[in-house]
Amino acid sequence: MALATPGRITALWVVLKTLQKMDLRAKKLEVLSFASRSGLRSGGLPIDDGLELGLRGGLIREVDSDLIPGPLGLEALRLCDEEEPSGPVRRLFLSVLTLRDPPPWVAYWQGDPTSLDLILSDADKAMLASAGLYPPGKGEDLLSMGWWRALAVVPVPAEVMAQRKVIGDAGEELSLSFERTRLIKEGFPSLAEQVWWVARESPAYGFDVASFGGKTFGKKEPEEPLAIEVKSVGYPVRERFPFHLSVHEWKAAAELGTRHIFHLWNSVRPGPIPTAGSVSPQVVRGSELLSHLPGPTSCGRGCQWESVYVELPI
């Protein structure tokens, strides 16, 4: 799958311009052959990749073995008569392609808007800036502001969601190891053996790891149960830790009270032996989240939130 790059964006424009010169309809091989001989940049553009981007974004369509511009492709041709794509054309291309087929960085940015500078490469920043989309627009630029708002909620690819799960599983494994080591150091090796990674069985538990208070959390006895909900991100966290909390997870935390904690891990790296940015998690009590959760509603039990995005100050 070709990712959007400046060269591929320009190649997509060359394909559209080629279709325009061929009366807006032509055979695929004819278009590729003609576009590859284009004088633009001496024909050194990745034309095949440009066509792939166009088809994926609906800017170009294939009908009965012919290529035609889609409605957005026609709009791009209306915006510019030049051989090089203009800023508005680049903006249109990147807007459509990123919203319809988000690159991997979108999933991590959705998790923490404050991490955008960390996640975007210099090349990505330059490409978005060339289209007037970076830095994120404020109220004076409605299109840019709206695009970033849309990007914050657009569904991300299945493979990226799978990577999120890999990072989440690695964080849970880190918590499992951390709790066993903690209890052994506190003099409770038998309790350490009983620490259990319940999320491997099902997310329906409402928490991820079942442990024990030991000396650190046990108000009464070391054997007092301790439920741990684990939240993990794969990048460094500066001032606020981002995570999503489901109502099911929150109900478990509220019901268990002092027998429940959150483990927050950042810079998690999956592997045979997962690692993180620190050897121990940040530990948070459910009470620390109260001010970050939706408040009571006037409709009582008739409506409730299902999940909430939290940026917890650290």
Q: What is the pTM of this model?
A: 0.68
4-19: burial string, b at 16+ Cβ within 10 Å, e else: beeebbbbbbbbbbbb
Q: Is the pLDDT of residue 5 over 60?
A: yes
Residue 96 CB contacts under 8 Å (≥ 6 apart), including other chains = 57, 58, 59, 72
Using alpha carbons only, what angle is made at residue 244 by residues 240 and 248, rounded to the nearest 5 degrees? 135
Tell me which DSSP letter residue 214 carries.
T
User: What span, in angstroms and rounded, lies between the C-alpha atoms of 97 and 83?
Assistant: 21
- Residue 139 pLDDT: 61
Q: Is the pLDDT of residue 42 over 60?
A: no
- Residue 113 pLDDT: 66
- Residue 49 pLDDT: 94
- Residue 40 pLDDT: 59
* Digit-coded pLDDT (tens) for 95-128: 999 998 888 888 778 766 677 887 888 989 999 9
Coil, strand or helix at 210: strand
Indicate the domain borders of the chain. 6-151, 159-313
Give domain 159-313's CATH architecture.
Answer: 3-Layer(aba) Sandwich (3.40)
* Digit-coded pLDDT (tens) for 215-271: 987 667 999 999 999 999 998 888 889 899 999 999 999 999 999 999 999 999 999
- Residue 164 pLDDT: 84
Q: Please state whether 206 falls in left (phi above 0), alpha (psi between -120 and 50) or beta.
A: left
Q: Name the token pair of 285.
A: 């009590």
Q: Is the pLDDT of residue 300 over 80?
A: no
- Residue 3 pLDDT: 78
Torsion of CA 105, 109, 111, 114, to 10 degrees: 150
Q: Is the pLDDT of residue 272 over 90?
A: yes
Mean pLDDT of 276-291: 95
Q: How confident is the model at residue 45 (pLDDT cuts 50, 70, 90)?
A: confident
* Digit-coded pLDDT (tens) for 146-188: 999 898 888 877 777 788 899 999 999 999 999 999 999 999 9
Q: Is the pLDDT of residue 2 over 80?
A: no
Average pLDDT across the chain, whole number: 90
Contact 169, 197 (CB under 8 A): no
Q: Name the token pair of 182.
A: 């903690």
Pair type for strands 260-265 and 225-232? parallel
Which residues face 244 on adjacent strands?
A: 309
Q: Is the pLDDT of residue 141 over 90?
A: no
Coil, strand or helix at 91: helix
Q: Is the pLDDT of residue 86 over 90?
A: yes
